[in-house]
Chains A and B, each alone.
Chain A
Amino acid sequence: NAGVMQNPRHLVRRRGQEARLRCSPMKGHSHVYWYRQLPEEGLKFMVYLQKENIIDESGMPKERFSAEFPKEGPSILRIQQVVRGDSAAYFCASSGGARSSYNEQFFGPGTRLTVL
Chain B
Amino acid sequence: SQQGEEDPQALSIQEGENATMNCSYKTSINNLQWYRQNSGRGLVHLILIRSNEREKHSGRLRVTLDTSKKSSSLLITASRAADTASYFCATYGAGSYQLTFGKGTKLSVIP
Contacts and interface: CB of A to CB of B under 8 A. Distances in A.
Interface of A: 31, 33, 35, 40-45, 48, 55-56, 59, 91, 93, 95, 101, 103-110, 112
Contact of B30 (A31, A48, A103): A103
A110 B98 CA distance: 18
Interface stretch (B13-21, B54-62, B70-78, B99-107): B99-107
B30 A43 contact: no
Contacts of B40: 112
B94 to A, nearest CB: 12
12 contacts: A33-B98, A42-B90, A42-B104, A43-B88, A43-B99, A44-B101, A45-B99, A91-B42, A95-B97, A103-B30, A105-B45, A110-B41
Interface string B80-103: 000000001010100001111111
Contact of A45 (B30, B43, B98): B98
A43 B43 contact: yes
Given A103-B30, A103-B92, A109-B41, A48 B97 contact: yes
Contact of B98 (A40, A41, A56, A101): A56
Contacts of A56: 97-98
Contacts, number: 57
Contact of B101 (A43, A48, A95): A43
> Chain B, interface size: which category?
20 to 34
Nearest to B100: A45
Enumerate the 4 nearest inter-chain pairs by beta-carbon distance, A residue then B residue, closest first. A42-B101, A109-B42, A107-B43, A45-B98
A93 B35 CA distance: 13
Nearest to B102: A42
Given A43-B88, A103-B30, A103-B31, A108 B103 contact: no
